[in-house]
Chains A and B, each alone.
Chain A
Amino acid sequence: MTKLLSVRLVAILVGLGFAFVALFAFVIGAYNAATEEPAGHLPYEKPMDLSFSFDGPLGKWDKAQLQRGLKVYDEVCAACHSLKFVAFRNLEELGYDEGQVKAYAASKQVPGIDPNTGEAAMRPGLPTDYFPSPYPNAVAAAAANNNAIPPDLSLMTKARGDGTNYVASLLMGYQAPSEELLAEHPEAAPGPGLHHNVYFPNLNLAMAAPLTTDGQVTYDDGTEATIEQMSKDVAAFLTWTAEPTLVKRKQTGWPVLIFLLFATILAYMSKQQIWAAVKPKKD
């Protein structure tokens, strides 16, 4: 008994010790919070809430939109950004046939070797090749872009919160900083080589506005290429590159859930039946 009592005594002392130190830190923190100016955040905006065909549990790809998005990537983004986890063969999922994919791949130069000398050389792409990077290596990418390496875009919409909306919003979010913002946060003025964007967490990023004029890309399906349209189309395309299985995933989910619901109802009924005999009778 005395031994057990001492266990509790030690515990109480240890508990009071931890609580004291935590509360001591609280008091110091509260004092600092009361006396110091809190570090303010730059006021950036949450992504716009746009609507896409693949939203929601019944969402499906809009293949025409993905094809338009590919065109925007191809003609605008690909100048600086790679797409290293996407192979040309994957483009068949956008509704292109084998011949079109072959032709598209062949129009790109990918790194290879000269079959006669074994030296590094560029060759036309095959469907099995992956989208080539515009730069031979990271140093070249940094050198060409004011030391900011353009990130690979394959997973971009999964690598940002609310990624699809974020990418589309960012592409539409370039504007000069407002007077009120600069008055309140002088540090929000874009530095050299930086560009102001209301959706970027510290308001200034190295990428210049890539989509600057309506009609910058000519769509094959006749859709009017406004900046908003191009932004949404390329965001949709990058959602596909980030997760090509997104629609298959949702479509697989339904039969799984319906089967499970059915099985769970049966399990509930059998549980009720099994327990009926031993349950107390209600008065």
Chain B
Amino acid sequence: MSFPWAREYQPSNGFTRFLDEKLPLPRLVYNAVGAGYPVPRNLSYFWNFGVLAGFFLVLQIVTGVVLAMHYAANAQVAFATTEHIMRNVNWGWMMRYAHANGASFFFIVVYMHIFRGLFYSSYKAPREMIWLLGVVIFLLMMATAFMGYVLPWGQMSFWGAKVITGLFGAIPLVGEPIQVWLLGGFAPDNAALNRFFSLHFLLPFVIAGVVILHIWALHIPGSSNPTGVEVKQESDTVPFHPYYTAKDGFGLGVVLLAYFAMVFFLPNALGHPDNYIEANPLSTPAHIVPEWYFWPFYAILRAFTVDFILPAKLWGVIAMFASILLWFFLPWLDKSPVRSGHYRPLFRKFFWFGLIPAMIVLFICGGAPAEEPYVMLSQIATAYYFLHFLVILPIVSSVEKPEPLPYSITEAVLGSDKKAVLGENTTPAV
């Protein structure tokens, strides 16, 4: 499935002809990320983050598999084997720092990817399925990252596991049995550690599977672009290879510079010192905080401090899950025919002056202790977060008057005969 002008794979010698007949793997790659995939020519650097996310997934799997060779998932020795990796395994310290910071960078690039999608409404038809699969990947990433953080069996590992599984305890009637079932006991211990290790090893491969579906679904309509105008003609596109392989290669270099600067010079800056203290069920840390990439959602969880029909804790749990699950409905909540935020004056204001500040406030409050003013700030930001996606987005998309769109990507890039095109573009060409 592609544009009619997509180049066809031509096997060049006997071996590739043989392969193409029996198992057309080179053809698959050629059509997926090679010259056989026409891509809008106007993608900005915000379109680099999908490839980067794929890179970090592979990096996490490679470093993770090596770490698993030296790690023992047993509550008696897990902390000590982590230190064994850091001290005795050749280059083990580098593998562990690469894996721990790799998780952070995976989330950084995925957040950029998600918010790119939100600004350019990449979730709209015909790309709903790509977006839905993306949200599934994000949920799987959160589960994987959470369980991975438990494995070193430090204080934050243990208490983080206790708090997060404790969320299920807020469910009425069945909550406590569910929590015990999830942990395999009344508190995190060997049973929990073992199953978390098993699932932490499994889920990345599930993510890889969903990523394949995500890319497959992407190749049906093709990539979106900063104008939000669909591809109309061959001049709107360039082949993925060499144009975007070159551009992604440069983007990868920039991100890797930042990543390795963290790995080698600030490897613990994104972690918590308490996780270098071995797990101790009898000593609760002063402030239990998850890893930074969960802070906005942790802030939503803690924003609900008052019982209102339901207990406050249950409100927090429902709101936290709802804050991500509502992303599944975005394709049907945002009815504007225009995709790109560049042509949506009202939407754009709410995005930059509403959603982004709210996310920053939630991020800061999620990492801060549960004290004032952080709790009150997170309550306002939480209210805005839900209003933004569930109230503002549907209403704005029906009332706003979009700015005129370019006729085509070619015109937007090359700027040919603008006036004539705008004349026939009174209704958005989507």
Mark A residues whose CB is within 8 Å of B. 4, 7-8, 11-12, 14-16, 18-26, 28-30, 33, 38, 57, 85, 90, 151, 154-155, 158-161, 163, 201, 242-245, 249-250, 252-254, 256-257, 260-261, 263-264, 267-268, 270-271, 274-275, 278, 280
6 pairs from A and B in contact (CB 8 Å cutoff): A15-B387, A18-B390, A23-B379, A25-B304, A30-B376, A85-B80
Enumerate chain A residues within 8 angstroms of B273, measured Cβ to Cβ: 158-161, 163
- Among residues of B, the one whose C-beta sits closest to the C-beta of A274 is B246
Enumerate chain A residues within 8 angstroms of B383, measured Cβ to Cβ: 18-20, 22-23, 26
CA distance A267 to B249 in the complex (A): 6
B333 near A7 with CB under 8 A, answer yes
A18 near B305 with CB under 8 A, answer no
CA distance A11 to B326 in the complex (A): 9
CB distance from A185 to the nearest CB of B (A): 18
CA distance A160 to B384 in the complex (A): 36
CA distance A91 to B193 in the complex (A): 33
Enumerate chain A residues within 8 angstroms of B387, measured Cβ to Cβ: 15-16, 19
A271 near B329 with CB under 8 A, answer no
Enumerate chain A residues within 8 angstroms of B329, measured Cβ to Cβ: 7, 11
- Among residues of A, the one whose C-beta sits closest to the C-beta of B286 is A201
CA distance A183 to B83 in the complex (A): 45
A26 near B253 with CB under 8 A, answer no
B304 near A155 with CB under 8 A, answer no
- Among residues of A, the one whose C-beta sits closest to the C-beta of B322 is A18
Task: Report B74-87 CB contacts with A as 1/0, cut-off 8 Å.
Answer: 00000010010011
Enumerate chain B residues within 8 angstroms of A28, measured Cβ to Cβ: 305-306
Enumerate chain A residues within 8 angstroms of B380, measured Cβ to Cβ: 22-23, 26
Mark B residues whose CB is within 8 Å of A. 41, 80, 83, 86-87, 93-94, 97, 238, 242-243, 246-247, 249-250, 252-254, 256-257, 260-261, 263-265, 267-268, 273-274, 276-277, 286, 303-306, 308, 312, 315, 319, 322, 326, 329, 332-333, 335, 372, 375-376, 379-380, 382-384, 386-387, 389-391, 394-395, 413-415
B264 near A252 with CB under 8 A, answer yes
Enumerate chain B residues within 8 angstroms of A16, measured Cβ to Cβ: 387, 390-391
- Among residues of A, the one whose C-beta sits closest to the C-beta of B304 is A25
Residue from A24, A33, A159, A244 in contact with B276 in the complex, judged by beta carbons closer than 8 Å = A159
CA distance A102 to B279 in the complex (A): 33
* Chain A interface helix/strand/loop/mixed: helix
CA distance A14 to B83 in the complex (A): 47
CA distance A161 to B253 in the complex (A): 31
- Among residues of B, the one whose C-beta sits closest to the C-beta of A244 is B87
B265 near A250 with CB under 8 A, answer yes
Enumerate chain B residues within 8 angstroms of A242, measured Cβ to Cβ: 276
B389 near A264 with CB under 8 A, answer no
A29 near B375 with CB under 8 A, answer yes
Enumerate chain A residues within 8 angstroms of B264, measured Cβ to Cβ: 249-250, 252-254, 256-257
CA distance A154 to B243 in the complex (A): 51
Enumerate chain B residues within 8 angstroms of A14, measured Cβ to Cβ: 322, 386, 390
CA distance A257 to B413 in the complex (A): 35
A249 near B94 with CB under 8 A, answer yes
CA distance A128 to B384 in the complex (A): 59
CA distance A231 to B311 in the complex (A): 51
B253 near A263 with CB under 8 A, answer yes
CB distance from A96 to the nearest CB of B (A): 18
A261 near B257 with CB under 8 A, answer yes
Residue from A8, A163, A201, A257 in contact with B260 in the complex, judged by beta carbons closer than 8 Å = A257
A257 near B86 with CB under 8 A, answer no
Given A159-B277, A257-B257, A257-B261, decide whether A25 and B86 contact each other with a Cβ distance below 8 A: no
CA distance A19 to B388 in the complex (A): 10
Given A25-B303, A28-B305, A252-B264, decide whether A264 and B372 contact each other with a Cβ distance below 8 A: no
CA distance A20 to B308 in the complex (A): 10
CA distance A280 to B384 in the complex (A): 41
Given A18-B386, A22-B383, A26-B383, decide whether A253 and B243 contact each other with a Cβ distance below 8 A: no
B308 near A155 with CB under 8 A, answer no
A155 near B379 with CB under 8 A, answer no
Enumerate chain A residues within 8 angstroms of B253, measured Cβ to Cβ: 260, 263-264, 267-268
- Among residues of A, the one whose C-beta sits closest to the C-beta of B255 is A264
Enumerate chain B residues within 8 angstroms of A85, measured Cβ to Cβ: 80, 83, 87
Enumerate chain B residues within 8 angstroms of A15, measured Cβ to Cβ: 386-387, 389-391
CA distance A254 to B335 in the complex (A): 51
Given A25-B303, A25-B305, A263-B253, decide whether A11 and B394 contact each other with a Cβ distance below 8 A: yes
A22 near B386 with CB under 8 A, answer yes
- Among residues of B, the one whose C-beta sits closest to the C-beta of A41 is B371
- Among residues of B, the one whose C-beta sits closest to the C-beta of A269 is B250
CA distance A155 to B332 in the complex (A): 52
Closest 6 CB pairs of A and B: A15-B390, A253-B264, A264-B253, A26-B379, A159-B276, A18-B386
Given A245-B86, A274-B242, decide whether A26 and B376 contact each other with a Cβ distance below 8 A: yes
Enumerate chain A residues within 8 angstroms of B277, measured Cβ to Cβ: 151, 155, 159
CB distance from B383 to the nearest CB of A (A): 4
Given A11-B390, A15-B391, A25-B304, decide whether A57 and B265 contact each other with a Cβ distance below 8 A: yes
CA distance A275 to B241 in the complex (A): 11
A22 near B382 with CB under 8 A, answer yes
B306 near A278 with CB under 8 A, answer no
CB distance from A229 to the nearest CB of B (A): 26
Interface centre among B242, B326, B383, B387 (most CB of A within 10 A): B383
- Among residues of B, the one whose C-beta sits closest to the C-beta of A161 is B273
- Among residues of B, the one whose C-beta sits closest to the C-beta of A261 is B257
CA distance A14 to B315 in the complex (A): 13
